[in-house]
Chains A and B, each alone.
Chain A
Amino acid sequence: MTPLVIGLIVLAALLALLAIGTPIAFALGFVSIAALMIVEGTGTLSILGETFFGGLASFGLVSIPMFILMGAAVASSPAGKDLYLALDRWLNRVPGGLVLSNLGACSIFAALSGSSPATCAAIGKMGIPEMTQRGYPKEIAAGSIAAGGTLGILIPPSVTMIVYGIATETSIGRLFLAGILPGFMLTMLFMAWSLYACGRRGIGLSSVTERFTMAQRFEVLPKVLPFLAIIVGILWVLYGGVATPSEAAGVGAVFCIVLVMVIYRLWKAGPLWRVLRDTLKESVMIMMIIGASELFSFTLSSLFITQSIAAWIGDLEVNRWVLMGVINLFLLFAGFFLPPVAVILMTAPILLPIITQAGFDPYWFAVVLTINMEIGLITPPVGLNLYVINGIAPDISLWQVLRGSLPYVLCMVLGILLLCVFPEIATWLPGFMMG
């Protein structure tokens, strides 16, 4: 059997196991070790424990539980509500202020929490009822939050980007920088669409804003600024070359917990336990997939599957943009069914050699890949954000959420196209800051 045929069998087995509902980590691990044992003999079982353990025991991975801890601390507190209030009070003079401040709050909260569903829940709980109450259409209220929430995995610090950095051995600092301008661009596109959609429905944008005094505006700042200081602090530490992402994440996480305890007086054992428990669940889930994908990529390269696929695609001599288009469609499709972290871990070891061979920048590709994953979060059948919105705003039907989100999906596709035409949107900032 040629490596390509073995690769196809492995892929088919993996898809079958995933389809019947086997947890992703175990399906990936089972297929990998089974393929190795069948092709190379049962003696290879001994490498299983060593590879799995070795894949997890690295200081770079420490940043994942730590950033998750930071996000869980912030998400457990009413910080999302205050962030929202603050932006609303400062942006109320801007036409369409409420939608815009929601989107702005989403992008800032996204940076803090690094999680898309958490962003949707935190901003949406407050933002959606407020928007519908002030007369914005339900579709726009729900859609803008669903889309704004997806920014969580693009705007740094982002766990998804860290996972990409680890899977592809690229610099996490550079990846974070690459995500900033595209994150900003998507926020702008979302805002532009929201303004247009409101205007088209004849919603008098100035009539749905409220007036606030300067005192009211300053009153909300003390609760919000410390969190913003933490993000700025983390990014400064990373790009000043002062500390590694893991160190920055650990300190950031402890700072956030302390801030939440001080500002929101959450120093009872109950809330703290919930923060730590949620962190454990999320990080164990991700770390198990990382360990299994370590095994998966080990198997694929031991059986020469990775190399054969790269060589095969190289021999096809297709236009590199056709190749990129096909890869995007494939990722988009995978993102419809699988969570971002799983898609990245499973595909990165195979796709990266192909991408670099075709002359694409791995940091630029990280951004394109992440936006693809964002689309998967707000499209059926397993668009996590849609269900989060449906959960927090039960009076808006899933269909309305879906219809409201669709234009934002098109904004993201436009974003990917813009990135293809102007790759500098992703590559300029890392180049400028890090050379």
Chain B
Amino acid sequence: MKAYISIVSAVSRACGVLAVLLVAIAALVVCQMVFIRYFLNGSTVWQTEFVVYSLVAATFIGSPFVLLERGHVNVDLLPNMMAEPARSIMNGIAGLFGLAFAALLAWSGWIYFEEAWTYGWTTDTVWAPPLWIPLLPLPFGIGVMCLQYIAEILRPFADGNPGAATL
């Protein structure tokens, strides 16, 4: 169980680095686009879509890392007021609902991706990249987040301290 948690956490951290790079690249491409459009009076073909899809990808791929860092904001007022074991039970239930949604989203995202892949859909712009490329981060990132969620639910048991769960 400990090995599972540390492997999944390492994957989530790697996802975090990838997502950070996507944000940084998106910021630079916005500047490049502004420069071409307003200073050289040129036209931009791929930049708008590239920036939008990079940031969407960063959101999905960064999501497991943000879960690991407890960055998905919640209202922990009531669980924190509870004594054990009520608090752990509450955290566990909250974790299961979060996992359930993540699993549904990953699954539904996978179906959307698969359709785009099978039918060779492209986006409806001049650039027209294959749609599966921007869609892939959804099932991938949220899929990893499901694994991370399982790790977070297991973590208190692995530490031998179920009371320490704070999902």
Contact = CB atoms under 8 A, between A and B. Distances in A.
Interface string A283-321: 111011101000000000000000000000000000000
Contacts of B24: 276
B23 A382 contact: no
B167 interface: yes
A432 interface: no
Contacts of A23: 72-74, 98
Contacts of A283: 23, 55, 58-59
Contacts of A382: 75, 77
B151 interface: no
Contact of A62 (B30, B77, B90): B30
Interface stretch (A97-105, A120-128, A140-148, A246-254): A246-254
Contact of A66 (B27, B98, B135): B27
Interface size class of A (residues with CB under 8 A): 35 or more
Contacts of A30: 97-98, 100-101, 104
Main secondary structure of the interface of B (DSSP, over half): helix
A237 B77 CA distance: 42
B28 A254 contact: yes
A284 B19 contact: yes
Interface string B115-152: 00000000000000000001100110000000000000
A281 B55 contact: no
A356 B94 CA distance: 36
Given A46-B111, A280-B66, A283-B23, A59 B73 contact: no
B100 A20 contact: no
A48 B105 contact: yes
B108 A45 contact: yes
B27 A254 contact: yes
A49 B105 contact: yes
Contact of A287 (B20, B59, B97): B59
B63 A288 contact: yes
A247 B104 contact: no
Given A45-B108, A58-B52, A254-B27, A337 B59 contact: no
Contacts, number: 187
Contacts of B109: 48-49, 52-53
A284 B30 CA distance: 19
Contacts of A291: 59
Contacts of B69: 281
A280 B55 CA distance: 10
A8 interface: no
Contact of B58 (A58, A282, A284, A381): A284
B111 to A, nearest CB: 6
A250 B105 contact: no
B86 to A, nearest CB: 10
Given A17-B97, A33-B101, A69-B27, A22 B112 contact: no
Interface string B2-35: 0000000000000010011001101110110110
A19 B48 contact: no
A18 interface: yes
A87 to B, nearest CB: 29
Contacts of A66: 27, 30
Interface in A140-161: none
Interface string B25-68: 01110110110001000000000100111011011001101100
B55 A342 contact: no
A423 interface: no
B160 interface: no
A415 interface: no
Given A49-B109, A61-B55, A276-B23, A22 B30 contact: no
Interface in A249-276: 249-251, 253-254, 273, 276
A283 B78 CA distance: 26
20 contacts: A17-B94, A18-B74, A19-B78, A20-B79, A21-B78, A21-B90, A22-B97, A46-B112, A52-B138, A53-B109, A243-B38, A247-B33, A254-B30, A280-B23, A282-B71, A284-B58, A284-B59, A285-B72, A287-B56, A342-B73
Closest 6 CB pairs of A and B: A250-B30, A23-B72, A49-B108, A49-B109, A48-B108, A30-B101
